[in-house]
Structures are given as structure tokens and as C-alpha cells.
Amino acid sequence: MSMEIEAIKDPGLPAHVHRAADTDPKAAKKAERQVAILFLLSALGTILLISTFFFISEDTFIYLPVLGNTNAYQLFLGLGLAASLFFIGMGAIQWARTLMPDEEVVAERHEFRSPDEDRADFVATVKDRAGQAGLGRRSLIKRSLGLSLGLVGISPLLLLRDLGPLPKDDLTKTSWKAGTRLVTDPGDRPIRPEDLEVGAVAQTLPELASGEKRTLNNIGKDAVLLIRLRPEEFNLDAERLSWTHEGIIAFSKICSHMGCAVALYEQQTKHLLCPCHQSTFDVTRAAKVIFGPAARPLPQLAITIDADGYLVAKAPFTEPVGPSFWERSS
């Protein structure tokens, strides 16, 4: 800071201006009444809450502008609670503002740094005591302590081992096998190609063997979308084309980005859209990503029909479904 420039002077704290209630007993009385009214409003709020509890039935609905059809019980219970709390607060603050002393006071600050002497003393003590422990001199102790502390740190990792099983092939395998029927979700009905019109979409799952139960874990990997186009609309290589059946193509419904259900199908453009981050997949080109953060197409399931004319998987998925993970090889 260059000191040649003279700064403007601090005029100091402005003089205190008295409020009406400080000097005029009438104004003070009025302020007192205002505070009391606020506290009474709070009491009224609690009375509203109590009356609601006893006199309004829980399934009373009333129509209100803006709010629409509203449950009167929850509404008045809430308004009563709100008023009872809010006006206690308003009362207290009004009290503080009008009747409690409003003169600003000045307090001094102290510097946090201790005086040099104390500080030197403190530092010396720390050094001295650390020396008494002799950690610096006894390197054997130091090393062995370091080793044992380091090892102790490992034990929680082991103790937490049973949080879950190892992934094994769980992330790569689904329930689909060659010959598994596709069944509707919900409904669990097998599907014939003629059940799907051109342009239609169906959400399907693998058929359960009798006695098997479907868990959310299964659905999270097995959900498959069927979409029917006109066969000439496909733009696929020969292999992928052979995975379709009469214009019906099947994809994993679990987004290859972060696993949301890819639920929106736009018939006009033949795009599948994931509502989570808007990754968009082109159905005619084997669910190639045409927009959004997903980096891989949705895995395609090869399908055909069985002897009874129902749609079945021709083979399991050839790659893991769902979001990427380190061990994934493609």
C-alpha cells in the first residue's frame, strides 16, 4: 500500500436514532398489542389443526382454484400447523424489532495468533514431547507400527466381504437361450408374428419354465422390445437380417448407456429413444446410436419361430446387455 495517497476518513458510527416505542409509551403499548395479536394468530392456527383433526373426515375433497381437487384434511392440517409456527416466529421478531434494545453495540476482536512467546513455547513443547516418544530414534518401532497400522486397514475390507457375491458371469448372461419363447409383459402370453402389425411395438420377457419365479433382477437383464417393420425398410447386413423374422426385430430394452428402459418408439422415424439421457437408436440399422451419450447399439436378439408358430430366441444374446463395465470386451 503506497502511503502517499491519503484515504478518505472513516466518519465513525452514525448516531443512534430512537424508535417511536423507545420514547412514546403509547407507541410502546401499541407495539406490545401487535406482538400479542401475532401470538394469538398462532394459537388460532393450532385450533385450526385440532378442529381439522376432529371434525374433517380424512377423505373430504374440495375443489380450489389453482390447487384443483384437494384433500381438505391434509390441507387444513397443514395450514393450521403452518400458521401456528409462522406466527410464533413473527411475534418474536416483531417483539425484538420494536421493544428490545435496538442500539448497535461494538465489541473488539482479538487476533487469533498467540503472542510470539506463547507460540514459541508451544512449538518447543510439541517438539520436546515428540522427542520424548523417541519415534525418530527408534526406527524399529516406527516401521513395525507403520506395518501394523497398514495391515489393520485391510481388515474392514475383508469384514465387508459378504456385502455381496462376486459378479462372475452375472453381468454377461441373461435368461435367453436358443428356443426360449418371447412372452408379453404383462400377461406372459406367447406371441405369433401375426399378433404384431407393421409399426407395432411389444414389450416381452423370456417365458418361464413352470415353477420358476421372475425377479426384478431378471427383468433388469431380460426385457426385450419387439418391433415390426416392413422387411424392405431394414438396412442390415446379411447376418443381422437373418436375426429378424418377417420384419420383426428384437432388441434389449435395457439402455446400453446407463441401463434405463428404452421405452419410447417413434413410428414415423423408426427411432427408439431413451428418456433418461435421450440416446436415440435407429431401428432400421440394428439400433445404431444416432444421437445422445450412449456409445453402443442396443444388443439385438436373434429370433425365429418354433414348431407351434410362436416367436422364440434363435440364440442367446451375443454380448452383455445394459451399461458398460470394465470386464466387458467389446
Partner 1 sequence: MTARERIAGNVASYVDDRTGAAKWMKKNLTKVFPDHWSFMLGEIALYSFIILLLSGTFLTFWFDPSQREVVYEGGYAPLEGLKMSAAYASTLHISFEVRGGLLMRQIHHWAALIFMAAIVVHLLRVYFTGAFRKPREFNWIIGVGLLTLGIVEGFLGYSLPDDLLSGTGIRIAEAIIQALPLVGSYLAFFAFGGAFPGESFIPRIYTVHVLLLPGIFLALITVHLMLVWYQKHTQYPGPGRTEKNVVGYPLMPVYMAKAGGFFFIVFGITAFLGAVASINPIWLYGPYTPGQISAGSQPDWYMGWLDGLVRMSPPLETHAFGHTISWNILIPGLIVPGILFTGMALYPFIESWVTGDKREHHLLDRPRNAPNRTALGVMSLTFMIVALLNGGNDIIATNFHLTINQIMWFSRIAIFVLPPIAFIVTKRLCLSLQRADRDLVLHGRETGRLLRMPSGEFVEVHEPISPEKAWLLTQHEQNPPLALEEVDSRGVRRPGVIKNKIRARISKANAEAVPKVSVEDLKEIEHH
Site for partner 1 in 95-154 (CB under 8 A): 95-97, 100-102, 104-109, 111-112
Write down the least CB distance from residue 132 to partner 1, Å.
29
Q: Which of residues 43, 53, 121, 148 is near partner 1 by CB under 8 A?
A: 53
Identity of the residue, 182 or 255, whose beta carbon is nearer to ligand FES in the bound complex: 255
Tell me the three state secondary structure of residue 254. strand
Contact partner, 307, from ligand FES, partner 1, none, Cβ < 5-8 Å per class: none
Q: Give the Å distances, CA to CA, from 100 to 92, 93, 113, 157.
A: 10, 10, 36, 58
Cis amide leading into 156 (omega within 30): no
Let me know: does 182 contact 206? Beta carbons within 8 Å: yes
The stretch among 117-125, 193-201, 291-299, 308-316 that binds partner 1 (CB under 8 A) is 291-299
Task: Give every CB contact of residue 43 below 8 A, 6+ residues apart in sequence.
Answer: 84
Q: Residues 20, 21, 22, 25: is their CA dihedral positive or negative?
A: positive
Q: What is the dihedral of CA 202, 208, 214, 220, to 10 degrees?
A: -50
Contact partner, 82, from ligand FES, partner 1, none, Cβ < 5-8 Å per class: partner 1
Write down the least CB distance from residue 46 to partner 1, Å.
12
Write down the least CB distance from residue 127 to partner 1, Å.
23
Question: CA-CA distance, 23 to 37, in Å (whole number)?
Answer: 22
Contact partner, 96, from partner 1, ligand FES, none, Cβ < 5-8 Å per class: partner 1
The stretch among 91-99, 148-156, 193-201, 302-310 that binds partner 1 (CB under 8 A) is 91-99
Bridge partners of 273, per DSSP, are: 264, 280
Question: CA-CA distance, 172 to 323, in Å (whole number)?
Answer: 11
Determine if 65 is a binding residue for partner 1 (CB under 8 A): no
Q: What string of DSSP letters covers 294-319?
A: --SPPPEEPEEE-TTS-EEESS--SS
Bridge partners of 289, per DSSP, are: 281
Determine if 169 is a binding residue for partner 1 (CB under 8 A): no
The stretch among 18-26, 145-153, 241-249, 250-258 that binds partner 1 (CB under 8 A) is 250-258
Let me know: does 127 contact 121? Beta carbons within 8 Å: no
* Cα angle: 160, vertex 163, 166; to 5 degrees: 105
Determine if 14 is a binding residue for partner 1 (CB under 8 A): yes
Contact partner, 13, from partner 1, ligand FES, none, Cβ < 5-8 Å per class: partner 1
Determine if 166 is a binding residue for partner 1 (CB under 8 A): yes
Q: Which of residues 171, 208, 236, 315 is near partner 1 by CB under 8 A?
A: 171
Write down the least CB distance from residue 292 to ligand FES, Å.
6
Q: Which of residues 37, 50, 82, 126 is near partner 1 by CB under 8 A?
A: 82
Question: CA-CA distance, 259 to 203, in Å (whole number)?
Answer: 16
179 backbone dihedrals φ, ψ, rounded to 5°: 95, -10
Q: Give the Å distances, CA to CA, from 37 to 40, 102, 214.
A: 5, 22, 63
Identity of the residue, 74 or 278, whose beta carbon is nearer to ligand FES in the bound complex: 278
Identity of the residue, 178 or 295, whose beta carbon is nearer to ligand FES in the bound complex: 295
Bridge partners of 313, per DSSP, are: 303
Identity of the residue, 202 or 274, whose beta carbon is nearer to ligand FES in the bound complex: 274
Contact partner, 221, from partner 1, ligand FES, none, Cβ < 5-8 Å per class: partner 1
Let me know: does 241 contact 234? Beta carbons within 8 Å: yes
Write down the least CB distance from residue 10 to partner 1, Å.
5
- Binding residues vs ligand FES (CB under 6 A): 255, 257-260, 274, 276-277, 279, 292, 294
